[in-house]
Amino acid sequence: MIVLGYNGFSRSSELFQRLYGATGVDRNLLMGHDAAAALSVDGEVVAAVEEERLNREKKTSDFPVKAIGWCTDSTGVRLDQVDVFAFPWKFTSAVAEEMIAGICARDMPVEAKFDHVRRVGELYTGMLSRSAVHDDFVRRTGFEMDPNKLLLVPHHLAHLMCGSYLAGVGDAAFLVSDGRAETLSSVMGELRDGVVTLFDRGTVDMDSSLALAYGKITRYLGFVPNNDEYKVMGLAAYAPPPTRNPLLAQVVRLREGGSYTLSIPGDRRAYYALFDHLFDADPAKREDFDFRVKVASMAQHMVEAVTVHQTRAVAAASGLDTLVFEGGLALNCVGNTKMLERSPFADMEVSFGAGDSGVAIGAAVYAGGLPRRGPKPEPTPYLGPVHGEQEIHEELLRFKDRVEWVELEDGEVARRTAELLSEKKVVGWFQGRAEYGPRALGNRSILANPAFGDIKDIINLRVKHREPFRPFAPVILESEAPRVFEMGKKRRSPYMTFVFPVKDDYRDRIPGACHVDGTARIQTVTARSNPELARLLGAFTERTGVPCLLNTSFNVAGEPIVCSPRDALECFLKTEIDHVVIGRHLVSKKSG
């Protein structure tokens, strides 16, 4: 069975701009953001890529025509061979009626209700309805899809299926929490014997979305909502947890069964005024670093308190040992670790597709059915485009006036790269298939030696062109991780979705990988999961005695992670990266 899962709308940007004034930073709040496509064959995901990697528009919500084209072309599958086209939003007529009823029940003038219903109606007929989704596919691909082959998958179910498939677990409790789905922002339940059961008492509606609340605070602090929340998470580490948190005292109300309500206005001016009141601020103070740290600490503390409340509730209701946590809020890796350690669960899984890029995979998995017979494929994030040596060489020739290179023997790649990294060099690392999701996981990465205490400043300012407070993640062999980090209940962290304290003995040895609070968001690697990166780690540790490398995404601020050799070379030439290794080619800039 062949299934194509995809996420993205051609008209999302147009309609949200015209109907709701969504421009500027609000572009990241559009439905369909992180547009992507994934192809599943007989229950195994064989190809997946985000549209932004190909059209070079970060967090694009556009219909993923390039991603679909790559998935089919790279696997030799024609669209007329696809059995199911799975789309991770299900706005049925019943959902539309629920949306209309919700508007009518609000406390607002009747004229405002009519206006709101009009706008929702245009959004539904122009983008969200089944016929609009079908017509969008036909118009953008030119393929006359059989309407009976289109399967609309509920958004939160797509998140769950992505997490369950990639975790490789059978029975598990689950929690999904994101900005919004069709009508809810968070659900919990369990997956047992292939059957999904929702715990109704744990559902949370969109008006109380924790992820959107965190996004509003992100915007209040001058960052981009639904994009820069990790900056707020990073800033929070510069202050201890607050002894008094007005967000928990006046905004959040925890309820039995794991649900909660949040009282934050939807209008920007109204919630800015609320935050100014809660945080004792005025517009002039919002740019102050100490003020940002204080507010970020309170926002992070709020997320941790609410998600721990949810985790304990789903554990009590399920009794299973493992929790699958998905949705945009699951990218808050600091909160993830605290959720697990403060819960009865023995383990918690968060996938590399936890955000909305993952729902394309999840929709495909749901339509194709979780694999139940025979050995299950080992989950891998390396599902994207790969480029052969000839293509790499052709791209290098295009830049021959600005770069020079040597072609290494296979066995020399790790040794020569480790030699460079033993110095204070920054190296772009471009190998194999592109990884999927928002994190660079060792195939489209920038690497450096964490033994140098100022390496973070060098990369932030001279390479990434971003704020100096931003931390970087270490990548380490899975077998070595417990020696360097306090892993708690975890034994592995392959997708940078958990944060761990660095052991005292190693804080002075890898200062470049330690955040201000002595923690690190780690990626663990094995020879099976990423052979080339594992060889490099082995060679680097043997040469230097340093057990890990600093790993950050191969891009600059505001741009998607590089996908092709051309992307890599262009990024290399406009930054102060010292060298880039593309396949077997060690590339340097020409002097003068």
Whether the CB-CB separation of 20 and 119 falls below 8 Å is answered with yes
Q: Tell me which amino acid residue 129 is.
A: S
Token couple for 266:
């939807």
- Domain holding 125, by residue range, is 2-152
The neighbour count for residue 390, using CB atoms within 10 Å, is 8
Whether the CB-CB separation of 128 and 182 falls below 8 Å is answered with no
Show Cβ contacts of residue 62 under 8 Å, excluding neighbours closer than 6 positions: 8, 9, 10, 12, 13, 32, 35, 51, 55
Output the pTM of the full model: 0.95
User: Is residue 92 situated within a structural domain?
Assistant: yes
Strand 150-152 and strand 172-177: pairing?
A: unpaired
Per-residue pLDDT of the chain (592 residues; tens, 9 = 90+): 999 999 999 999 999 989 988 777 676 667 889 999 999 999 899 999 999 999 999 999 999 999 999 999 999 999 999 999 999 999 999 999 999 998 998 888 999 999 999 999 999 999 999 999 999 999 999 999 999 999 999 999 999 999 998 887 789 999 999 999 999 999 999 999 889 999 999 999 999 999 999 999 999 999 988 888 999 999 999 999 899 999 999 999 999 999 999 999 988 899 999 999 999 987 777 789 999 999 999 999 999 999 999 999 999 999 999 999 999 999 999 999 999 999 999 999 999 999 999 999 999 999 998 655 444 567 899 999 999 999 999 999 999 999 999 999 988 999 999 999 999 999 999 999 999 999 999 999 999 999 998 898 888 888 877 788 888 899 999 999 999 999 999 999 999 999 999 999 999 999 999 999 999 999 999 999 999 999 999 999 999 999 999 999 999 988 999 999 999 999 999 999 999 999 999 999 998 6
Same domain for 140 and 195, yes or no, is: no
User: Is residue 361 situated within a structural domain?
Assistant: no
What is d(CA 319, CA 337) in angstroms, rounded to the nearest whole number? 20
User: In the block, which residue shows the tokens 């003995």?
Assistant: 505
Show Cβ contacts of residue 133 under 8 Å, excluding neighbours closer than 6 positions: 87, 89, 127, 150, 152
User: Is residue 360 situated within a structural domain?
Assistant: no
Same domain for 278 and 204, yes or no, is: yes
Element (H, E) at 189: strand 184-192
Strand 519-521 and strand 499-501: pairing?
A: antiparallel
State how many domains the chain has. Answer: 3
What is d(CA 25, CA 454) in angstroms, rounded to the nearest whole number? 32
Strand 172-177 and strand 322-326: pairing?
A: parallel
Same domain for 97 and 62, yes or no, is: yes
Q: Which of 435, 407, 441, 428 is nearest to 533 (CA)?
A: 441
pLDDT at 456: 84
User: Is residue 486 situated within a structural domain?
Assistant: yes
Q: Tell me which amino acid residue 73 is.
A: D
Q: Tell me which amino acid residue 299 is.
A: A
Token couple for 469:
């407070």
Token couple for 520:
């690190």
Total residues belonging to the chain: 592
Same domain for 275 and 336, yes or no, is: yes
Same domain for 114 and 178, yes or no, is: no
pLDDT at 386: 97
The CATH number of residue 536's host domain is 3.90.870.20
User: Is residue 470 situated within a structural domain?
Assistant: yes
Same domain for 214 and 349, yes or no, is: yes
Residue 178, Cβ density class (10 Å: 0-12 exposed, 13-18 middle, ≥19 buried): buried
Whether the CB-CB separation of 12 and 41 falls below 8 Å is answered with no
Same domain for 439 and 582, yes or no, is: yes
Same domain for 178 and 310, yes or no, is: yes
Same domain for 108 and 236, yes or no, is: no
Point out the domain boundary residue: 329, 353, 377.
353
- Alpha carbon of 582 to those of 47, 52, 401, 533: distances in Å? 21, 21, 18, 13
User: Is residue 525 situated within a structural domain?
Assistant: yes
The CATH number of residue 193's host domain is 3.30.420.40
Q: Is 444 in a helix, a strand, or coil?
A: strand
Whether the CB-CB separation of 248 and 350 falls below 8 Å is answered with no
Point out the domain boundary residue: 152, 182, 216.
152
Q: Which of 421, 530, 552, 546 is nearest to 484 (CA)?
A: 546
The CATH number of residue 115's host domain is 3.30.420
User: Is residue 38 situated within a structural domain?
Assistant: yes
pLDDT at 374: 44
Same domain for 68 and 135, yes or no, is: yes
Q: Which of 429, 420, 418 is nearest to 551 (CA)?
A: 429
Whether the CB-CB separation of 461 and 446 falls below 8 Å is answered with no
Token couple for 370:
């979780």
User: Is residue 479 situated within a structural domain?
Assistant: yes
pLDDT at 225: 87
Same domain for 318 and 178, yes or no, is: yes
Same domain for 14 and 80, yes or no, is: yes
Point out the domain boundary residue: 353, 379, 412.
353
